[in-house]
Amino acid sequence: MNEQKPNTSLGEAPVGSLMRQYAIPCIISLLVGALYNIVDQIFIANASYLGSYGNAANTVVFPLTVIALSIGVMIGDGCCAYVSLALGREQPQSAKKSVGNAVLMVLASSLVLTALYLLFADGIIAMFGGTVNAETNRLAKEYFFYITLGIPFYMFGQAMNPVIRADGSPRFAMASTLAGAVLNIILDPVFIYIFRWGMMGAAVATVLGQIVTAVLAVWYLLHMKLVRPGKRDFRLEFSLCRQCLLLGLTSFLSQISLVASMAAVNNMIRQYGALDPIFGQAQYAQIPMAVVGIVMKFFQIVISIVVGMAAGCIPIVGFNMGAGKQHRVRDLFTRLLLAEATVGAIALLIVEFLPHQLIVLFGAANESAYYTSFAVKSFRIYLCMVIFACVNKACFIFLQAMGKAIPSTILSMIREILFGVGLTVLLPMFFGLDGVLYSMPLSDLLTFLIALVLIANTYRELGKADIQDNAKVIPLRQLSHRRQAHAG
């Protein structure tokens, strides 16, 4: 009886109310997750003994945490999509096995990644621009070491979050992430300002928060409502793992390709910043990297809202696709695209009209005028096509939820690798340091032109499926009426 209620709700409740029910907790969960790194950077930036050097170090390490996130969300989102599709097809045992396999996969992968990070720390930090100057390098190594120790907890919490949502508990998923982030916010000023632990303090506060989220996820796994796995479900089935990973591949590539883009950005900033008449000076060398990191953090907040809306819809999309109710999927797609474009429009107004207010949060009062002027320019150029970026992300995830992993993956790769890396390397050859800023909006614009084709095709396919369903229903109704007339 407990399994039927959520299933009936996903297939019959109004699409708008379902979207709010599932998307809002997901948005909050992702926003809270994003706050881990952003809060660290705010407190670091406003610590006079760290300042822009600490900010730059945070920017260097940030992509390395995204690598861990990419693996975690691939496993978690893939399992979430698989569970939703399985429940829509009334296959609860398959859903249970997928959860057990997801737990094993995230534990194994997190331990391997932690070991690799500890073994190759120096080379990895250098790869992501950590050699911009000696002080930035030192702080980056300190921050990275302690963040690495928390990788298993971070990945487990992030992977289980969408699984918890798929089990029909989006509020618990939100609360578990919120609990860890609140602890981080409380401990950051204590460790950085009172204990003066510097980058180590920021990292330790983050890791302790991640541990809390992971512990709450373990508790929930032992008390799941719909798909509580048994001991036998915790046995690796490679065919099942492959299906889950394929469904989560878009999430992985959208994150990991972002890492490639950030690595390109950091290195181009280091290379062309050294040629700039101002930022080529040793005392200002870290400013471009610190500033672009801040702009990316604001963008991460926007994308957390965007991805939260789309990812929150995964269980709804998966269930209705599995149940053959494409008309509901089409309605949801329309609502989602409009909502994502609205978020992008609001973000655009903020970065174009309030960049000074944004940069003040990140320690502008303690820095030179060059810091503020470059930050204002970066916000206005780098995010001028943020509306298209939001719609693109929605398209990636929605196609994934429909089971269309291949087109979703290809589009994501085109955005982050072909455009994100290619233009970041190419444009600075002609525009110098400003070319790095131009690469982001141009990438989003070109990707949107391609996404429009996929969006149109998706509407066409869903419309055809709806017509076919109606064509099947009408003869059945006619046959029923004839039987009733005959019986009369």
Residues 6+ apart with CB under 8 A from 48: 366
Mean pLDDT of 37-49: 86
Please tell me the total count of domains within the chain: 1
Is the pLDDT higher at 7 or at 256?
A: 256
Report if residue 1 sits inside a domain.
no
Report if residue 9 sits inside a domain.
no
Angle between helix 15-45 and 326-353 (nearest 10): 30
What residue has token string 């591949």?
249
Mean pLDDT of 366-370: 87
Report if residue 8 sits inside a domain.
no
Condensed to tens digits (0 to 9), the pLDDT of residues 338-360 reads 999 999 999 999 999 999 999 98
Report if residue 319 sits inside a domain.
yes
| pLDDT recorded at residue 486 | 55
Condensed to tens digits (0 to 9), the pLDDT of residues 59-92 reads 999 889 989 999 998 999 899 889 888 887 888 8
Condensed to tens digits (0 to 9), the pLDDT of residues 290-321 reads 999 899 889 988 988 998 898 888 888 888 88
Look at residue 32 and tell me whether its pLDDT is greater than 80. no
Mean pLDDT of 383-388: 97
CB neighbours of residue 211 within 10 Å: 18
Report if residue 210 sits inside a domain.
yes
SS3 assignment, position 14? coil
Report if residue 321 sits inside a domain.
yes
| pLDDT recorded at residue 91 | 85
Condensed to tens digits (0 to 9), the pLDDT of residues 450-487 reads 999 999 998 998 887 666 555 554 454 554 555 555 55
Question: What average pLDDT does the chain have?
Answer: 88
What residue has token string 């050859």?
429
| pLDDT recorded at residue 4 | 42
Condensed to tens digits (0 to 9), the pLDDT of residues 118-147 reads 999 999 999 998 988 899 999 999 999 999
Condensed to tens digits (0 to 9), the pLDDT of residues 192-209 reads 999 999 999 999 999 999
Report if residue 270 sits inside a domain.
yes
Condensed to tens digits (0 to 9), the pLDDT of residues 406-421 reads 888 788 889 888 999 9
Report if residue 280 sits inside a domain.
yes
SS3 assignment, position 363? coil
Measure Cα distances from 346 to 27, 203, 302, 333 in Å.
16, 32, 9, 20
Domain boundaries, position 195:
14-480
